[in-house]
Structure formats: C-alpha cells, structure tokens
C-alpha cells in the first residue's frame, strides 16, 4: 500500500498508509491528522490547505481554476500550496510529503 507523510504543525512527521483513490484530506482524517476540511471536500473552503514538498509538486495534476480560487483564501499560501481534498492518491504519489500550514481560517475564529 502507498504511504504518505504529514509534517504536522509541531514539526512531527507522521507516516501513514495512503490507500489508492482517497484524497489527502480523507487520509488525514482517517489518521487523526489535524486538518479540518470544513466543507467535507466539496471545494467550498480552504481549510484543508496543505503545502506540498517541492520534490513532489510537479508530480501532481494541475490545480483547477476552482481550486486556485479557493486557495486565494488560504493562510500561509506558498508556491506549492494545494487543497488536500483535491489531491487523490495514485501509485505515482507513494511517499508524498505534505506540510500543514501554521493556521487555517477557522482556527482564527476559535
């Protein structure tokens, strides 16, 4: 089974199983990684914003225009930012590494 690595806000590296066909958001939620996904993956928010390791970024499908629009709402946006709900695991992404940004929009409302 493919694996992926989440670099959590505290710097901890968490390697998890990444079943084919699941999104990065779904994998995070299954493994108690602190990522929100307030819209449940419907591409209506930016709370599943992740930063892709630069070595992996060019291996991803291009972001859609709708994803780019939602990313404009993300805090800590970088050149390799993507929405976890839009990244589907394939064999080519075995070992994918993503970093959780320091904050998300909803965290600031707490």
What pLDDT digit, counting tens, does each position of 81-107 carry? 999 999 999 999 999 999 999 854 444
At 21 the three-state DSSP class reads: coil
49, 104 contact by CB (below 8 A):
yes
Question: 30: which 2 tokens?
Answer: 């299954």
Residue range of the domain that includes 24 = 3-109
Query: pLDDT (tens digit, 9 = 90+) per residue, 22-62?
Result: 999 999 999 999 999 999 999 999 999 999 999 999 999 99
**Cα 6 off chain centre by:** 9
Scanning the structure block, which residue is given the tokens 């819209």? 39
Rounded to an integer, what distance in angstroms lies between the CA atom of residue 10 and that of residue 23?
23
Write down the pTM of the prediction: 0.90
Query: pLDDT (tens digit, 9 = 90+) per residue, 65-80?
Result: 999 999 999 988 999 9
The pLDDT of residue 66? 96
Rounded to an integer, what distance in angstroms lies between the CA atom of residue 106 and that of residue 30?
20
Q: What is the CATH number of the domain that holds 27?
A: 3.10.20.30
Number of domains making up the chain: 1
Bridge partners of 91, per DSSP, are none
Rounded to an integer, what distance in angstroms lies between the CA atom of residue 68 and that of residue 73?
9
């Amino acid at each position: 089974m493919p694996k992926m690595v989440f670099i959590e806000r505290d710097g901890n590296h968490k390697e998890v199983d990444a079943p084919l066909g699941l999104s990065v958001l779904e994998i995070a939620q299954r493994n108690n990684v602190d990522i929100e996904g307030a819209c449940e993956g419907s591409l209506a928010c930016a709370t599943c914003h992740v930063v892709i390791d630069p070595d992996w970024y060019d291996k991803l499908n291009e972001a859609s225009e709708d994803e780019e629009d939602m990313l404009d709402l993300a805090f800590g946006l970088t050149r390799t930012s993507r929405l976890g709900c839009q990244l589907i695991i394939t064999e080519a992404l075995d070992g994918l590494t993503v970093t959780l940004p320091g904050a998300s929009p909803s965290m600031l409302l707490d």
